[in-house]
């Protein structure tokens, strides 16, 4: 009866430590994947319920405006904005309307009419047709490309059109605006009329997870939205597969990085590992000592790595000496000795 008891004891023993660590890391990967899915759901829902208010939309060339003046029916006009951004309105002549919102144009017409023609005119401006706008969405989105859109659109609207983020999308979004400013179109010199690209950086965690609506900027024709791939962390030293690994799902823990590097070699000293973290000031870096064995055993925090972090596992002097002794005996006698199985 002794053997069955031994068999049952072995069968009921907990999984090996490496298996537990592997399962824990897979669970974390699944959670991070769920986070990206949640962000994509937020993108779609936000594009449906928020977006840019039509009252905030800036009038541009080819827009069709419906202008009404309550006091005089003859002034009610439907006008197409010219390619230069102008309209010709009765009594007032040519008005430059490009870059104005509907409410701003209402005020301008009302003030001009009040100067000479009416005591307190009531003016309404309605954008009947929106011009076609070309917005590019590039990088780690499901459907990158150039989109022909009309009407007011925001970053979230465009991300929704592009099918949301891919799992290996980075944490930052770059909004590159190539349209020339109103000042540069005044035509002092030909060179001054050239577009001056402006790059705005949006933190996707702040926008999508924390819900900072101020980051959901309106887009204009010619804008380029770029979502680059997530950054990398690097694992080196005594691991089986040293190299760079993407911050998939935007976050990667220390233990996950070690799993991606296929674990610590027997001669590695995980208790003396270090994280080299660059501060962004030249080559200045911060050194963070870590005990990987304590992390694996749940005795130390499994910290999140940052972009460009370098994890280094040094060689154990004691283990290296014992391996040298073992290999020496193997070379002399042609077989291993008893303690070799423990290394």
Q: Based on C-alpha coordinates, what's the Rg of the chain?
A: 32
Q: Do 282 and 252 meet the contact criterion of CB atoms below 8 Å apart?
A: no
Q: Which is more confident, 36 or 223?
A: 223
**CATH topology for 35-52+132-182+193-227?**
Outer membrane lipoprotein wza fold like (3.10.560)
C-beta pairs of 322-329 under 8 Å, 24+ apart in sequence: 323/266, 323/267
Angle at 43 between CA 158 and CA 219, to 5 degrees: 30
Whole-number pLDDT of residue 245: 85
* Residues sharing a CB contact under 8 Å with residue 271, sequence separation 6 or more, in sequence order: 291, 292, 293, 294
CA distance 41 to 215: 17
- Residues 51-78: tens digit of each pLDDT: 455 667 788 888 899 999 998 889 999 9
pLDDT at 341 over 50: no
CA distance 294 to 258: 13
- Strands 310-313 and 232-237 come out as parallel
pLDDT-based confidence at residue 328 (cuts at 50, 70, 90): very low
- Residues 285-307: tens digit of each pLDDT: 789 999 999 998 989 999 988 88
Residues of the chain by 3-state class (helix, strand, coil), percent to 5: 35, 30, 35
pLDDT-based confidence at residue 34 (cuts at 50, 70, 90): low
Angle at 149 between CA 146 and CA 155, to 5 degrees: 75
Please state, as a whole number, how many other Cβ atoms lie within 10 Å of the Cβ of residue 90. Answer: 12
Q: Do 284 and 278 meet the contact criterion of CB atoms below 8 Å apart?
A: yes
CA distance 106 to 89: 12
Burial of residue 27, with CB atoms counted within 10 A of its CB: 0-12 exposed, 13-18 middle, 19 or more buried? exposed
How confident is the model over 167-177, as a mean pLDDT? 84
Q: Do 96 and 55 meet the contact criterion of CB atoms below 8 Å apart?
A: no
How do the domains of the chain map onto residue ranges? 35-52+132-182+193-227, 58-129, 231-343
- Residues 247-257: tens digit of each pLDDT: 765 578 999 89
Whole-number pLDDT of residue 82: 92
Give the highest mean pLDDT range of 180-189, 275-284, 304-313, 316-325.
304-313
Same fold, 35-52+132-182+193-227 and 231-343: yes
Q: How many CA atoms does the CB half-sphere of 220 hold within 13 Å?
A: 16
Among the listed residues 252, 291, 243, 295, the one whose alpha carbon sits nearest the alpha carbon of residue 269: 291
Instruction: Enter the pTM of the model.
Output: 0.54
How confident is the model over 313-340, as a mean pLDDT? 54
Please state, as a whole number, how many other Cβ atoms lie within 10 Å of the Cβ of residue 262. Answer: 12
**CATH topology for 231-343?**
Outer membrane lipoprotein wza fold like (3.10.560)
The pair of three-digit structure tokens given for residue 3, joined into one six-digit string: 């053997």
Residue keyed to tokens 């590097």: 261
As a dihedral over the C-alpha atoms of residue 93, residue 98, residue 103, residue 107, rounded to 10 degrees, the angle is -30
The answer as to CATH 3.30.1950.10 being correct for domain 58-129 is: yes
């Amino acid at each position: 009866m002794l053997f069955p008891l031994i068999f049952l004891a072995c069968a009921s023993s907990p999984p090996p430590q490496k298996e537990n660590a592997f399962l824990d890391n897979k669970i974390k990967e699944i959670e991070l994947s769920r986070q990206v899915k949640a962000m994509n759901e937020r993108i779609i829902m936000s594009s449906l319920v928020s977006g840019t208010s039509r009252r905030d939309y800036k009038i541009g060339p080819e827009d069709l405006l419906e202008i009404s003046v309550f006091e005089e029916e003859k002034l009610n006009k439907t006008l197409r904005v010219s390619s230069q951004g102008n309209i010709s309105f009765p009594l007032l002549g040519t008005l430059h309307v490009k870059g104005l919102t509907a409410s701003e144009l209402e005020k301008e017409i009302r003030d001009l009419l009040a100067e000479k023609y009416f005591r307190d005119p009531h003016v309404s401006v309605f954008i009947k047709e929106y011009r076609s706008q070309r917005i590019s969405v590039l990088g780690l989105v499901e459907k990158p490309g150039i989109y022909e859109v009309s009407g007011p659109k925001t970053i979230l609207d465009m991300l929704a059109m592009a099918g949301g983020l891919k799992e290996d999308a980075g944490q930052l979004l770059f909004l590159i605006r190539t349209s020339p400013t109103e000042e540069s179109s005044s035509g002092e010199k030909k060179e001054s009329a050239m577009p001056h690209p402006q790059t705005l950086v949006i933190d996707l965690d702040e926008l999508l997870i924390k819900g900072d609506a101020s980051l959901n900027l309106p887009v204009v024709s010619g804008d380029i939205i770029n979502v680059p791939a997530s950054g990398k962390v690097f694992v080196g030293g005594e691991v089986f597969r040293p190299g760079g690994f993407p911050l998939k799902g935007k976050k990667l823990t220390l233990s996950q990085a070690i799993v991606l590097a296929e674990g610590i070699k027997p001669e590695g000293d995980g208790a003396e590992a270090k994280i080299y973290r660059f501060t962004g000031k030249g080559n200045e870096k911060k050194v963070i000592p870590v005990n990987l064995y304590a992390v694996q055993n749940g005795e130390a925090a499994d910290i999140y790595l940052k972009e460009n972090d370098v994890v280094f596992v040094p060689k154990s002097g004691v283990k290296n000496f014992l391996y040298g002794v073992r290999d020496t005996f193997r070379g002399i006698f042609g077989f291993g000795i008893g303690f070799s199985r423990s290394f």
